[in-house]
Structure formats: structure tokens, C-alpha cells
Amino acid sequence: MKKETLLEIILGTIGGLVFAVGMCMCLIPEWNLFKVGVIVAIIGFIILLGIIPVYKNSHPKKEHTPVNWGIVATWIIGIVGALVMGFGMSKIMVGSATQVDFIVGLITGVIGLLICVLNYPIYAYITRK
């Protein structure tokens, strides 16, 4: 493993954790740490931005190739699946969920999970020649 790759991993991990803790500080009202959370999240974001120069130095520019529509479709399907699953899980976990909220959330979460699981077979179908 190259030194630059290890640095990217370390910066990404530390920056992601600091950013996530800052966002938790902002979004959990019981903690009463909104202003401090904003500052911590900005510091985490700046650490994450530090990956850009490291990446540019360690990875040479590649020639532009035609768009791989299988990858584009995979990203779109993955994002949609994650959003649907997240909606279902938040329906269950937020507030005091009623039995209807629980059932709707569970069904929606499972549908989102299935979308994510079926992402690779869809990619294989699209890219098959």
C-alpha cells in the first residue's frame, strides 16, 4: 500500500467521524450543543477536503473514456434503494411509532433493501454484451 493511499484512508476516517459527531451534536436537541456542533462539523469537513490534494498528487490524470451507463445506473439504483430503506427505517425509529407506522416502515425498509441487493444483477444485465 502506498503512503498516499494510507493517508487518504486516515483522513477519510478521521474526517468522517469528526463530521458525523458534529452533525449529531447539531441534530440531537437533548445535547444542547448546536453551535459547537456546527464548528465540529466544519472542522470534519475541512479534514475531508484535505483528501483532495493528496488524491490529486497520487493519482495521475486519466483520459476521458465513454460513459459506462451500467455504472451510472448502478449509482442511481443504489441511491434510490438507500433512500427508500432509510425512509422505512426512520418511519419505525422516529418518535413513538404506531403499529401502522411500524408495518409501513418495515415493508418500505425491506423493499429498499431488496433494491440494493438487486443492484448488482441489474448492473450485470446492463453491461452484458
Residue ranges making up the domain that contains 91: 69-127
Q: Which of 15, 35, 58 is the last residue of a domain?
A: 58
The answer as to whether 83 is a domain residue is yes
Mean pLDDT of the chain: 91
Distance CA 50, CA 56 (A): 11
Same domain, 91 and 113: yes
- Scan for cell 466544519, then name that residue: 42
pLDDT at position 34 is 94
Same domain, 75 and 123: yes
Same domain, 54 and 74: no
The residues, ordered by sequence, that sit 6+ positions from 81 with a Cβ below 8 Å of its Cβ are 112, 113, 114, 115, 116, 119
Average pLDDT per run of 10 along the chain, which is 129 residues long?
A: 84 95 91 94 96 86 85 94 93 85 94 94 86
The answer as to whether 39 is a domain residue is yes
pLDDT digits (tens, 9 = 90+) for 7-19: 999 999 999 999 9
Same domain, 9 and 32: yes
Same domain, 76 and 104: yes
What's the structural domain count of the chain?
2
Same domain, 74 and 44: no
CA atoms within 13 A on the CB side of 92: 14
State the Cα angle at 85 between 84 and 90, rounded to 5°: 100
